[in-house]
Amino acid sequence: MGSINKLFITLQARYGNQWASQWDDERLLKFAKHEWYEALKHFCIDDIKRGLKKYQGDFPPNIIQFSKACEATGKPAPCYELWGQPDDILKIEADKPSNYKEHGNEVIDELREIIK
């Protein structure tokens, strides 16, 4: 599972249907993942962790809000090791809500490792 999927699942876990209902079909979800990838690809894993810790809004963040939450002083570094190459993101099959249940325990374990 790609890291952009992990991020989306993390935000799904935090915001439930408020997050999931933004994309009512698989094409929109796939497009959203690509847009988020483009906005966040220059951040490193520590920046993404910072964003997850820093953004504590009552509503799901948009790309701009989350990107600002990830920002810190210091030089940004490319994070292809985190996100994969752009072509990989475009090939991701959009997750269906049933897939969240199937992969839930695996994703939770992976997310615990990320936020340690």
Specify the number of domains making up the chain.
Answer: 1
Rounded to 5°, the CA angle 110-80-14 comes to 40
| Average pLDDT score over residue span 1-16 | 87
Tell me the residue range of the domain where 70 lies.
3-115
Instruction: Please check the confidence at residue 50 and state whether its pLDDT lies above 60.
Output: yes
Please report the sign of the dihedral spanned by the C-alpha atoms of residue 83, residue 106, residue 22, residue 64.
negative
Q: What is the pTM of this model?
A: 0.63
16: left (phi over 0), alpha (psi -120 to 50) or beta: left
Q: Where do runs of H (alpha helix) occur along 41-96?
A: 45-54, 63-70, 80-83, 86-90
Instruction: Please check the confidence at residue 113 and state whether its pLDDT lies above 60.
Output: yes
Chain-wide mean pLDDT for the chain? 76
Q: Are 10 and 49 in contact (CB under 8 A)?
A: no
Q: What phi, psi does 79 have (nearest 5°)?
A: -125, 45
Tens of pLDDT, residues 51-76: 999 998 899 999 999 999 998 755 55
Tens of pLDDT, residues 30-44: 999 999 999 998 888
Query: Among 69-78, 87-96, 101-110, whose mean pLDDT is lowest?
Result: 87-96
Contacts of residue 58, Cβ cutoff 8 Å, sequence gap at least 6: none
Token representation of residue 49: 């962790």
- Using DSSP, state whether 6 is helix, strand or coil: helix
| Residue at 68: amino acid letter | K
